[in-house]
Every structure is written in structure tokens, then in C-alpha cells.
């Protein structure tokens, strides 16, 4: 059985006090109504990681960062290293999000390097892939995700790959309210699994969770989670309210 995961990407939202309040509300809901099947992860901005760690001390919710810099340390003004993230108590980091690819011009080499430093520092990785609308319309979806996975995961050992989760996030579905239909998502997830099978040995394809991301909401989560190759979600907008995030977790608990 693959690990099921509901992760929240807070993006550039929430000050420290807002983050503490939100994560406390989430933890309270989960205390009353525990998630037994899904691992729950929140990814607040860097500035709130230590605060979130304090609030989550006795909770099963895990947390992570949304990015890191692909060097161990050095004169890189304004950047944050894997070791710094790890020192906050974080276990996870999102790498290769389409907003990083698009606004900060992160390419496959940069992403591969970032995954490497994350793993070297014992951070688990949520590695994002996905096509733009233009690419989908040109029938390029599979070529795009193949290239992203092949380069992004290049050079990692079987042991390292166990600490990586893929998030398929079609760019046209992120923050747009337009979700991929369960079938559209399932098609790409199944393809990703076939690809993992071709690229790596030892059943990695059957073990690696593949999350779906892109306008996941309480209303559409169930249909997505019912698909055989969808192992959970990376949620943006709907994770900024404890209530809607909890409803998505509950859908997972029902389906998985
Ligand atoms: P969204 O974002 O749920 O707001 O579409 C998802 C993501 O960017 O990870």
C-alpha cells in the first residue's frame, strides 16, 4: 500500500501569528477527528516554520518548506539552505513548483540539484511536475512530464527515491479554479507510474506516492482520490482555511 498524503502549500500567505492560528485550528480538528489513513503535511512560508514547529509539537501533522537554495552554504544573500530548514524541525520541502519554474526560471538542472541537497540533509521532497495549457493543447503533456521526471530524478539511488513524492500539477489548473477531471489526472498519473517503472528498478513505481495538485477543493477531492493512481493531493488555495483543508482530508479518509 502506498502512503497517502494530503499536503498544503501555503505559498506567500500568513504572517507568524496567522500561521500559528491556522495550524492550531488544523491540529484541533485533527485531534477530534484523526486522520488514520492520510499523512497530513503543511508547507508554510520560511518565516513561519519555527512557529509552526512550536504549535505542532504534540501533533501528527508534519511540516515543510516550499523551496530551498541548491548549495550547502555560502555567500548567497537572501537564500535559505536545506540545513537551515531542517533546523526548524521541518521534515519536507516542495521542489520544482510551477511558480518557481515560471517566475524564478528554475530549470531541470537546478531542480535536480535542489532535490540532491534536500536529500543530503534528510529532508523529504515533494517534487512537482506538470504541463502548461499550451503544452496540453499541443498534446505534449506526456513529453513534458517525462522530461521533468527524467531530469529531476536523475542520479538518485533507490534508497533516496523512497524519500521523494511526486506531485502532478497541471499548470493550467493551479489557482485557476479549473481542476483536471479525475480521468485527465488519472491518465497522467498512470503514465507517470509506467515511466517510473521504465526508469527505475525494484518496484519504485508501485511505492512512490503521486499526488495531484491544481484547484483541489472539498467538492472535487473525492472524485480525484477514487482514481487508482492518485495517492493524495497538494492543495493550494483550499488549505488556507482549516475547514476546507480538513474536508479534503476527510474525503481522503473516506476513499483511501
Ligand atoms: P491551488 O494550488 O490548489 O490553489 O490550485 C496548488 C498548488 O499550487 O500547489
Closest CA to 41 of 204, 175, 188, 165: 165
**Beta carbons within 10 angstroms of residue 232's beta carbon:** 31
Residues 6+ apart with CB under 8 A from 197: 204, 205
Percent of the chain with pLDDT over 90: 96
Q: Residue 1: what pLDDT? A: 83
Print the SS3 string covering 108-139.
Answer: HHHHHHHHHHHHHCCCEEEEEECCCHHHHHCC
Residue with more model confidence, 219 or 179: 219
pLDDT higher than 90, residue 201: no
pLDDT higher than 90, residue 96: yes
pLDDT higher than 80, residue 202: no
**Beta carbons within 10 angstroms of residue 254's beta carbon:** 12
Residues 85-95 pLDDT 10s: 999 999 999 99
CA 101 to ligand 1 centroid distance, Å: 14
CA 219 to ligand 1 centroid distance, Å: 15
**Could you tell me the three cell numbers for 137?**
493543447
Rounded to whole angstroms, how far apart are CA atoms 128 and 95? 6
Rounded to whole angstroms, how far apart are CA atoms 118 and 123? 5
Which is the closest atom of ligand 1 to the Cα of 239?
A: 3
Q: Is 246 a catalytic residue?
A: no
Residues 22-77 pLDDT 10s: 999 999 999 999 999 999 999 999 999 999 999 999 899 999 999 999 999 999 99
- Please state the pTM of the whole predicted model: 0.98
Q: Is 134 a catalytic residue?
A: no
Residues 6+ apart with CB under 8 A from 158: 200, 201, 202, 204
241 band by pLDDT with thresholds 50, 70 and 90: very high
Amino acid at each position: 500500500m502506498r502512503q497517502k498524503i494530503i499536503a498544503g502549500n501555503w505559498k506567500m500567505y500568513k504572517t507568524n501569528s496567522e500561521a500559528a492560528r491556522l495550524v492550531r485550528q488544523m491540529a484541533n480538528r485533527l485531534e477530534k477527528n484523526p486522520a488514520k489513513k492520510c499523512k497530513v503535511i503543511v508547507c508554510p512560508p520560511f518565516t513561519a516554520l519555527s512557529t509552526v514547529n512550536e504549535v505542532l509539537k504534540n501533533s501528527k501533522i508534519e511540516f515543510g518548506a516550499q523551496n530551498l537554495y541548491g548549495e550547502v552554504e555560502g555567500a548567497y544573500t537572501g537564500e535559505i539552505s536545506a540545513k537551515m530548514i531542517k533546523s526548524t524541525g521541518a521534515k519536507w520541502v516542495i521542489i520544482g513548483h510551477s511558480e518557481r519554474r515560471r517566475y524564478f526560471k528554475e530549470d531541470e538542472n537546478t531542480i535536480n540539484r535542489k532535490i540532491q541537497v534536500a536529500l543530503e540533509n534528510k529532508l523529504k521532497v515533494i517534487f512537482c511536475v506538470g504541463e502548461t495549457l499550451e503544452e496540453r493543447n499541443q498534446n505534449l503533456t506526456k513529453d513534458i512530464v517525462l522530461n521533468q521526471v527524467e531530469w529531476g530524478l536523475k542520479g538518485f539511488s533507490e534508497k533516496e527515491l523512497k524519500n521523494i513524492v511526486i506531485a502532478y500539477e497541471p499548470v493550467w489548473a493551479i489557482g485557476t479554479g479549473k481542476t483536471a477531471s479525475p480521468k485527465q489526472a488519472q491518465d497522467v498519473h498512470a503514465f507517470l507510474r509506467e515511466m517510473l517503472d521504465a526508469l527505475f528498478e525494484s518496484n519504485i513505481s508501485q511505492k512512490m506516492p503521486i499526488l495531484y495538485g491544481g484547484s483541489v477543493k472539498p467538492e472535487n477531492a473525492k472524485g480525484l482520490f477514487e482514481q487508482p493512481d492518485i495517492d493524495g493531493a497538494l492543495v493550494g488555495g483550499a488549505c488556507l482555511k482549516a475547514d476546507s483543508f480538513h474536508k479534503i482530508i476527510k474525503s481522503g479518509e473516506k476513499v483511501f
